[in-house]
Structure 1
Amino acid sequence: MRRLIPLILAAALAASPAVSTTAGASSTVAPAAAEPIGIALEGWPYPFPVSYFEFQVKGQTLRQAYMDVAPAGKPNGRVALLFHGRNFPASYWDKVIRAFTADGYRVIATDQIGFGKSSKPDLPYSFDFFAANSAALLDSLGIKQVDLVGHSMGGMLAARFTRTYPERVRRLVLEAPVGLEDYRLTVPPVSDAFLYDREYALTADAYRDFLKNTYSLSVPVAEIEPFVGLRERLKASGEYPRWVTSFIKSYQMIHDQPVVHEYPLIATPTLFIMGSADHNAPGKPYTTKNLGAGMGRNADNADNAKAIAASMLNAQVVVFDGVGHLVHLERPEDFNRTALGFLDR
């Protein structure tokens, strides 16, 4: 039995002295000895009230967190569904949600199972699993069709969701999606134990450098500092080992479950929004130098995005010069104007 369980987070309880009251929108730096935070991000502020969709899978009761935000402007009768990337909770959609609701959208921004405020179960993760959960969430809210926006890992999920439920997606926006290549062809399999040890040993400085360099960010480091602080607070939790176990499942999912071969089968009008400096390619550190050199050509000379769009029935690509992997955080006004221009067309 599925049922909807609303949870309204009071602002006074959501605010934390270690971070801004709007996650990801502040340059506040978390102190080195930050207070521990639970792996469901209890106490981590989201910009809008959070509710939970509860359901059962293989005898486990799971709760999927989401924000359901009403239009702030004149309602346009449409719903936007936002899928987050691997290294961020749904709270990082703050400016996108505000722009979309001002344009008349009702916005649903969800944390997939294993991420953010959602459950971290002992279950295998797959894009089919996440897509089915998201469809069930929409069913519970009485929503039949959406405009779908997916970032990074969420772009892979958005592609799979659109392939599985084509009638439910009116238009598709893919922001800097990973999975524009089949990583199985260049990156050898790595064990869960190997990934666990790497994640467990990752320091705040190393994680900050990862976000800055792997994502080729054009924004100041201060913009990502709240998320570095969040990870440090997670490390102080007694449940951190379970969080790491959950997190590494998503890497294996990205590596083992390519969607790049499915793009030519998508007829839904699609827009790729890319940063010219984005060379993100999950697993690149685990392969040889020669193979790695050809990975992550997402929006430059050997442009994966444009080649894929050309293979699709109705797709186009917009590239922002000098921008990395976090387009909606690096160039929020340009991202929102471009995405809404495509969706409103």
Structure 2
Amino acid sequence: MHLKPLLGLAALAVAVLGSPHAYAQAADQPAYGSELQGFEYPYPVAHYHFTSQGQELDMAYLDVKPQSPNGQIAMLLHGKNFCAATWEGTIKALSEAGYRVIAPDQIGFCKSSKPERYQFTFQQLAGNSRALLASLGIERSIVVGHSTGGMLAMRYALMYPDAVDRLVLVDPIGLEDWKAKGVPWLSLDGWMQRETRVSADSIRAYERATYYADTWDPSYETWVQMLAGMYRGPGRAAVASSSARLYDMIATQPVFYEFEKITPPTLLMIGDKDTTAIGKDTAPPEIRKMLGNYPVLGKEAVKRIPHAQLIEFPDLGHSPQIQAPGRFHEALLAWLKHPETGASQVK
């Protein structure tokens, strides 16, 4: 099948989505720029300027230094529908415990550049993240990844094992190979068509079902509007084009077959009510019901990853750090302090 050029993807978004200003006014909801201009982050935003694939890029990031440093640094990697800002509670918990926290917005996401011609790979994003830390004089760190950030964290640990002190995977996607299980391939045009249907209502419904296990708190709405606002703004075509290519990256670049090569001490933190699986809705019904079974996936993964431990939250969904921050951060900090025994102490 012939794929449109990437510029054509952006043009398709403009054609189908129509006027972003009209949409924002009709919905009476916030509209943000393509780099999330207008949305306030909980900590000051810094910028790392670098060249990649022949393009000048800007990676936004948070660098939160603790009042009483313990000498350790944690890099937090956000998920597909998340940003550095959604780590707000975790940044606070870690910094109060003495950790310096670096939380980047990956290229293609949130407040960072969204280049029209960029080959998104987990290796490239890992390399960008490593270069960011190097620019700050950081050689080693704890790496914490959530959702798609969990896939990225695993790739980072595989590429730079000597730079990772400990690895924490929070409901990471990629614990199964969706394509191998029967999820149909989707072209870039197909992912872009899906992007044209994104709205605050669709985001909210999906997050309620998977991220928060069919529960809802008004505080979650901030993160719905953060994402939806970029689809209402003047840069919505660039946002949709980046998102489509990122979904293609996730669907076609499994890390599943390399778990045995992950060497740092690793903690899996799994909300058992999570059902996330990329492309699940496109699979035949008999396949769909087999996907995203996180209680099984977590147990299978921890057997394959050397030096790994598992903490399960039976009543939580895809985002336990947001849904139950007190319990989550207590468990995280206990393991970081005692990685040999911390998981066993969590009730």
Q: Given the two structures, how large is their TM-score scaled by the length of structure 2? A: 0.87
Matched, 1:89 2:83: yes
2:121 & 2:41 partners in 1: Cα distance?
26
- On the 8 A contact 2:47/2:58 being kept in 1, the answer is yes
Structure 2 counterpart SS, 1:62? strand
Unmatched 5+ stretches in structure 1: 1-29
- Matched AA of 1:194: G
How far the C-alpha of 1:203 sits from its partner, in A, is 3.0
- On the 8 A contact 2:213/2:317 being kept in 1, the answer is yes
The equivalent residue for 2:123 is 128
1:292 & 1:149 partners in 2: Cα distance?
29
- On the 8 A contact 2:33/2:233 being kept in 1, the answer is yes
- String of CA shifts for 1:230-256, please: whole Å, max 9, x gaps: 334223322211110001111111110
- Matched AA of 2:125: F
The equivalent residue for 1:25 is none
Match of 1:119 among 113, 117, 127: 113
The equivalent residue for 2:73 is 79
Structure 2 counterpart SS, 1:224? helix
- On the 8 A contact 1:217/1:330 being kept in 2, the answer is no
- String of CA shifts for 1:192-237, please: whole Å, max 9, x gaps: 2222122212332222111111335365242321222233422332
Q: Give the total of aligned pairs.
A: 312
- On the 8 A contact 1:31/1:229 being kept in 2, the answer is no
Aligned residue runs from structure 1 range 23-34, under 5 A: 32-34=27-29
- Matched AA of 1:238: P
- String of CA shifts for 1:255-301, please: whole Å, max 9, x gaps: 100011111111211000011101111110111111111111111xx
- On the 8 A contact 2:36/2:110 being kept in 1, the answer is yes
Match of 1:334 among 327, 335, 338: 327
1:262 & 1:151 partners in 2: Cα distance?
18
The equivalent residue for 1:10 is none
The equivalent residue for 2:5 is none
Aligned residue runs from structure 1 range 37-48, under 5 A: 37-48=32-43
Matched, 1:285 2:300: no
- Matched AA of 2:336: L
Aligned residue runs from structure 1 range 135-284, under 5 A: 135-185=130-180, 186-217=182-213, 219-284=215-280
Structure 1 counterpart SS, 2:57? strand
Structure 2 counterpart SS, 1:318? strand
The equivalent residue for 1:100 is 94
1:202 & 1:312 partners in 2: Cα distance?
35
Structure 2 counterpart SS, 1:160? helix
1:285 & 1:214 partners in 2: Cα distance?
13
The equivalent residue for 2:48 is 53
Q: CA RMSD in A?
A: 1.6
How far the C-alpha of 1:31 sits from its partner, in A, is 9.8
- On the 8 A contact 1:263/1:312 being kept in 2, the answer is yes
Q: Do the aligned partners of residues 338 and 194 (structure 1) sit closer, same or farther apart at CA in structure 2, a change above 3 Å counting?
A: same
Structure 1 counterpart SS, 2:196? helix
Q: Given the two structures, how large is their TM-score scaled by the length of structure 1? A: 0.87
2:223 & 2:280 partners in 1: Cα distance?
23
Structure 1 counterpart SS, 2:277? coil
Matched, 1:67 2:58: no
How far the C-alpha of 1:35 sits from its partner, in A, is 4.0
2:92 & 2:39 partners in 1: Cα distance?
19
- Matched AA of 1:134: S
- Matched AA of 1:294: M
Q: Do the aligned partners of residues 143 and 219 (structure 1) sit closer, same or farther apart at CA in structure 2, a change above 3 Å counting?
A: farther
- Matched AA of 1:84: H
- On the 8 A contact 1:215/1:325 being kept in 2, the answer is yes
- String of CA shifts for 1:178-203, please: whole Å, max 9, x gaps: 00001121211111222212221233
- On the 8 A contact 2:231/2:240 being kept in 1, the answer is no
- On the 8 A contact 2:146/2:172 being kept in 1, the answer is yes
Match of 1:315 among 308, 314, 319: 308
- On the 8 A contact 1:217/1:326 being kept in 2, the answer is no
- On the 8 A contact 2:125/2:152 being kept in 1, the answer is yes
Structure 1 counterpart SS, 2:259? helix
Q: Percent identity?
A: 38
- On the 8 A contact 1:204/1:228 being kept in 2, the answer is yes
